[in-house]
Amino acid sequence: MPKGARITSIVAREVYSGRGHPGIETTVTTENGAVGTAIATAGISVGEFEVKFIYDGGDRFEGLGVRRASEGINTLVAPALAGMDSTEQAVIDQAMLDLDGTPDRSRLGGNAIASVSAAVLRAGAAALGIPLYEHIGGVNACELPVPGVGLMNGARRYGGGERAGDKPSYEFMCYGFDTFADAAYAAWVLERTWRRTLAKRIKGLDPFNVRFIPAGVLKHDSELWDVMGEVIETCGYSGRVGIQVDVAAGEYYDNDKERFVGLFSREDKTLDELIALYKWMTEQYPFVIFEDPLDEDDFEGHARLTREVNIEICGDDLFTTNAVRVQKGIEMGAANAVLLKVNQVGTITEAFEMTRLAHRNGYGVMPCGSRGEGPEIVDYAVGLITGHMRGGAGGEAANRLLRIEQELGARAHFAGKAGLKVKW
């Protein structure tokens, strides 16, 4: 055991998050004063097959308070893990799973377990005195991921997707560059050009806030795709930047109608019609990633779409960072990439095991920091050598990647085209 790496305290609290509801923040401290802090919160679209989160219920925070789950960490988890080696991630994670004792993490709560697990990972790195990405990936952690920059969200423009929140959402993926710094600058140029161009096209839009378009303004999202393609070309980045869309299509599927309702346009769509639309999209526009393009349990449909288009098909709600579901996808040829969100499955160990399974079978992995991971999600991308990630082109995530690129110096390598599961 590294000197001073034993856990001396674990403290959890309810905190505010960027998702509009609370999250659990856990701080782990070791004998040598190292500290690791992590937040776990729910996402906008939550897959049916994710582990169970514990909420307080009642009127407070519309039932989504997490004081009960936080108290479970303080009274049950903290004493159980006291004195354990913070660098022994798998041992600690297994101890929590044993303490929980349920298949869906419903005793302690998947949110509680995820928060502690991520905090332990960070405390372990700090106790060793090494960067988080190096703690995760060792000497091989030297590849900078292709980043994305967010453009806009769905907000149910066409009346469907009552559970979908802000989906579909769109990003520009900046892959055709020599360094991460160059890719991040391109994202800066693109995002500003996008805002200004869209504001000119749609009356009443504020050029500083075009993320949500009111209902009735557009007839079809193809109007947005036209502008996206134009912006890429105008900025001189044709062949160097592509479009990613997080569809969350399962949130638009109506089981009674057996149709996708309000997705991309007002017209209901059958599975065949939606797949035909996706094929047309890849022919007409520079799409490089479809995330959750079909219903969240439709492995056969995802396998069919993967065969019929040449871009990355990424499963989020389809796989929920779960190795069993990823294995099923591998066996059926469903999708060719998986989104990485630790708190969908519970522990760092399980999430990283899923990543290794995906890589062994030629699947891409795309980390996403939408569940409270903060800028440290980029350390996951570098440490796990994922080649690309959701977001990351701006803000604190970009700043973290710039620091990592500088730290690595001549060892730094930008993933580029190879970072995406696209048949170029």
Write the single-letter amino acid at 274. Answer: L
d(CA 253, CA 399): 38
Q: How large is the greatest C-alpha to C-alpha distance in the chain, in angstroms? A: 63
Reported as a pLDDT band with limits 50, 70 and 90, residue 161 is: low
Reported as a pLDDT band with limits 50, 70 and 90, residue 76 is: very high
d(CA 415, CA 389): 11
Reported as a pLDDT band with limits 50, 70 and 90, residue 1 is: low
Segment 182-203 shows an average pLDDT of: 94
Q: Is the peptide bond before 22 cis (omega within 30 degrees of 0)?
A: no
C-alpha closest to that of 418 among 393, 386, 394, 392: 386
Q: Which pair of tokens denotes residue 195?
A: 């805002």
What angle is formed at CA 22 by the lines to CA 96 and CA 31, rounded to 5 degrees?
Answer: 45
Segment 407-415 shows an average pLDDT of: 98
Q: Is the pLDDT of residue 151 over 60?
A: yes
259 DSSP β-pair partners = 254
What's the confidence (pLDDT) of residue 372?
65
d(CA 188, CA 399): 13
What's the confidence (pLDDT) of residue 21?
82
Query: Computed over its alpha carbons, how large is the radius of gyration of the chain?
Result: 21
CATH fold of 137-419 reads TIM Barrel (3.20.20)
C-alpha closest to that of 99 among 188, 10, 196: 10
Q: Is the pLDDT of residue 371 over 70?
A: no
* 215 or 396, greater pLDDT: 396
- Every domain range in the chain assigned CATH 3.20.20.120: 137-419
What's the confidence (pLDDT) of residue 300?
98
pLDDT tens by residue, 29-51: 999 999 999 999 876 555 567 77
Residues 6+ apart with CB under 8 A from 275: 294, 301, 304, 305, 308
| CA 134, chain centre distance (Å) | 21
* C-beta separation of 124 from 87 below 8 A: yes
Tell me the three state secondary structure of residue 13.
strand
Average pLDDT of every residue of the chain: 93
C-alpha closest to that of 43 among 221, 243, 245, 246: 246
Q: Is the pLDDT of residue 212 over 90?
A: no
d(CA 15, CA 22): 5
What's the confidence (pLDDT) of residue 208?
76
Reported as a pLDDT band with limits 50, 70 and 90, residue 232 is: very high
Segment 85-112 shows an average pLDDT of: 94
pTM: predicted TM-score of the whole model, two decimal places: 0.93
Reported as a pLDDT band with limits 50, 70 and 90, residue 370 is: confident
Strands 364-367 and 337-340: parallel
Instruction: Look up residue 73 and give its DSSP letter.
Output: I
- Percent of the chain clearing pLDDT 90 (strictly above): 80
What's the confidence (pLDDT) of residue 389?
97
CA distances from 137 to 128, 140, 398 (A): 14, 6, 20
Residues 6+ apart with CB under 8 A from 356: none
Q: Is the pLDDT of residue 373 over 80?
A: no
Q: How many CA atoms lie within 13 A of 343 on its CB side?
A: 31
Q: Is the pLDDT of residue 20 over 90?
A: no
Segment 103-107 shows an average pLDDT of: 89
Strands 143-144 and 146-152: unpaired
* C-beta separation of 169 from 290 below 8 A: no
Segment 157-185 shows an average pLDDT of: 88
- Percent of the chain clearing pLDDT 70 (strictly above): 97
Tell me the three state secondary structure of residue 406.
helix
Most confident of 25-29, 166-170, 206-210: 25-29
Segment 205-228 shows an average pLDDT of: 86
Segment 15-23 shows an average pLDDT of: 84
Reported as a pLDDT band with limits 50, 70 and 90, residue 294 is: very high
Segment 126-152 shows an average pLDDT of: 97
- Every domain range in the chain assigned CATH 3.30.390.10: 7-129
Q: In what order do the strands lie in the sheet with 388-392?
A: 364-367, 337-340, 312-315, 287-291, 241-246, 169-174, 146-152, 388-392
Q: Architecture of 7-129 per CATH?
A: 2-Layer Sandwich (3.30)
Write the single-letter amino acid at 140. Answer: N
Q: Which pair of tokens denotes residue 350?
A: 């399980």
What's the confidence (pLDDT) of residue 52?
86
* C-beta separation of 285 from 243 below 8 A: yes
pLDDT tens by residue, 50-67: 778 899 999 999 999 999
What's the confidence (pLDDT) of residue 325?
96
Place of tokens 């929920």: 320
d(CA 234, CA 175): 17
What's the confidence (pLDDT) of residue 209?
77
d(CA 83, CA 85): 7
Reported as a pLDDT band with limits 50, 70 and 90, residue 239 is: very high
DSSP string, 255-301: TTTTEE-SSSBSS-B-HHHHHHHHHHHHHHS-EEEEES-S-TT-HHH
